[in-house]
Structure 1
């Protein structure tokens, strides 16, 4: 089925075949010689594989100095997130659990058997996770405990409220994803595989998390609405409808797409920070670990932009496309090329009547300029070059229309 979907994309067919027959192992290499690990650490990797489809492989492909700390970091936050997700836990009890959860890292034998969530297995085996946590070097334990504490406190803010303002949206995404980026960056620096500045610059690390989280929230509109969850910020969707769920109705297709484009534009504002962050990464395994989800995110945003299918079905990139990006995103030059192509796709779809057209085009132009900073090392297709010319031309066109409209309004007073 994946081959059929990519039949008109030879590069994707080649990537799928190469991946099937052993290509790309440097990006998703399974953990070798698992039997040499302690039984507790083997269980931790089993929990990782059972609760994460997207991160398990890339965590196991990390440099040995980071593989175990990042695995434990993921499981600790997965356990915390599972507490938040379990709707059967009374709010008062949940608030207490979230705020104090980090203390259980130092509590031998603690586990929670009353969870009803799909990932309850992590909480049920948390005594094993915490035992392995206590075996880590102190530099790693400090980071994991601090991020767990900050995230647990932050999660309580939105337990019974939805993100209304854009500031709230950024705050929510910071608590659930930005802190993950900050924690990972501090672990990278603590391992000495990356420079200290990677762990110290919380703004860039936070942006990595926000870029991924906002992409997921945008893509998952239909799933969340059907599950009576609301993560799109009211400050944006209220400009286009009275009820967020109304975007599912055919008669609201136009306003739904306008709102969608508004949010994609907001998410794309983090793309320059992603590029700035990735320029600092030197270790190959860390680069792969960070680059793969980022290229998947920008590819997903490009697929979602101006696409009403977001409100009727799951919109995602083809597996062949995902495999191709995953196998290619192993250097800064290739990362820029992938981000350039996806940004071009967004730029080529901006409607002239789009209320946020100028802002979207400006962001597109900024990202494309950053991706072009090493133009001599990036080979672009003729289609990509023509889109760049088109985007820049449209930016001038829309700006000119805005000036004319303002002038007309001024002289009409």
Structure 2
């Protein structure tokens, strides 16, 4: 790019920014999707949700770092839990972790790690209930994810229950945290707290399952598979045989089954969104954009079951724009949202799927 350096690549240039500006720039660097959706939230929610995503991304960065051993990852995760809870020790933590990051970690995440003290200072500028919600999410994620990182995943997970648990640790607990933040923000939303908390886990799982299905072949190239073997037992395919060149009808039938399960979770995501007050269009759009893009991705996977790399089922920019426009036009109407969801997701449903809460006990 002719020597051009983005501000996110230079942590020193970010230190003069306000908290709001800093979080916006960091989000843009580590996730364009969330940089797009989080600003839709009411002003009172933006700081906490933006900060929550950055905290989760720090845990992700630790877990994805190829230069760290499983014991190192566990130690850094355990330390980070305490830092988020107490606000203490962030500088020493960043100073130790930053030099260990490899070139495989993107520059924006290098900057995020070096700016952990500032991110944690923002965390502890929030209200006590918000800090508690963020800390609970980080602890769940940071304790659960290392368990799965240490597994031999070339032959997938054993059961759908294992996949449920994995999705909870990486996404379901984030859904719970968001539900808590929304309830803290609005007594009207808090009236549905228990139902929202339950549905939020399913919402998170639907989004995570969609990502897993989209990234099957990218993961296979790394010798990793997040799919559950028991689903494929029904079709007679052994996930230990999965390679980037697999072309097997039995595998595609199992894939269809998982698409149906993910669709069921996204149906619950719609119910979750419809429980939010119709006048809270910012929060509804935040949910609807993620939901809409997930449905369109599942639709594309279903239409191209023989795909062999994620780019083939990545939705286009026009599809993203269409999702945003449709969401804005229908956000206030539960009837229109149901109609739009049913039309868009036709053909994805598995008739016998039903969500029921599960206990998350690990693999």
The answer, yes or no, to whether TM exceeds 0.5 is yes
Corresponding residue to 2:174 among 175, 180, 188: 180
Per-residue deviation, 1:307: 2.5
Query: Following the alignment from structure 1 to structure 2, what is the Cα–Cα distance between the partners of residues 285 and 296?
Result: 17
| Paired position in structure 1 for 2:344 | 342
Q: 1:199 to 1:245 in 2, by over 3 A?
A: farther
How far apart, CA to CA, are the structure 1 residues paired with 2:206 and 2:162?
15
The Cα of 1:199 is off from its aligned counterpart by 4.2
1:211 is aligned, of 203, 206, 210, to 206
Q: Aligned partners of 2:188, 2:219: CA distance in 1, in Å?
A: 37
Mapped contact 1:325–1:338 kept (Cα < 8 A): no
For 1:188 and 1:46, the matched residues in 2 are separated by 24
Per the alignment, do residues 126 and 271 of structure 1 end up closer, same or farther by CA in structure 2, a change over 3 Å counting? same
* Contact in 1 for aligned 2:133/2:181 (Cα 8 Å): yes
- What is residue 242 of structure 1 aligned with on the other side? 238
Aligned positions, number = 317
Corresponding residue for residue 49 of structure 2? 70
Cα distance, 1:166 vs structure 2: 0.5
Counterpart position of 1:303 = 300
- Greater relative contact order, per chain length (Cα 8 Å cut-off, separation 6+): 2
Q: State whether residues 199 and 272 of structure 2, in contact with CA within 8 Å, keep that contact through their aligned partners in structure 1.
A: yes
Q: Tell me the SS of whatever aligns to 1:344.
A: coil
Measured against aligned partners, the alpha-carbon deviations of 1:361-386 in whole angstroms (never above 9, x if no partner) come to 456xx99xxxxxxxxxxxxxxxxxxx
**1-structure distance, mates of 2:188, 2:232:** 40
Q: Aligned pair in 2 of structure 1 residues 362, 164: CA closer, same or farther (>3 Å)?
A: closer
Q: Which residue in 1 is equivalent to 2:163?
A: 169
1:269 aligns with 2:268: no
Q: State yes or no: 1:320 paired with 2:318.
A: yes
Q: Is the 8 A contact 1:185 1:198 kept in 2?
A: no
Larger radius of gyration: 1
Q: Give, in whole Å, the separation in 2 of the partners of 1:237 and 1:362.
A: 17
- Once the 2 structures are TM-superposed, how far is the Cα of residue 123 of structure 1 from its aligned partner? 1.3
2:113 to 111, 115, 123: 123
CA distance in 1, matches of 2:251, 2:74: 35
Cα distance change of structure 1 residues 197 and 219 upon mapping to structure 2, 3 Å threshold: farther
Give the CA deviation at 1:55: 0.7
Calculate the TM-score normalised by the size of structure 1: 0.71
Deviation at 1:193, TM superposition (A): 6.7
- Give the 3 Å change call, closer, same or farther, for CA 319–46 of structure 1 in structure 2: closer
Give ranges in structure 1 of 5+ residues lacking alignment: 1-36, 348-359, 368-413
Change over 3 Å in CA distance of 1:237–1:305 after alignment to 2: same
TM-score by length of 2: 0.80
Are the counterparts in 1 of residues 229 and 239 from structure 2 also a CA contact under 8 Å?
no
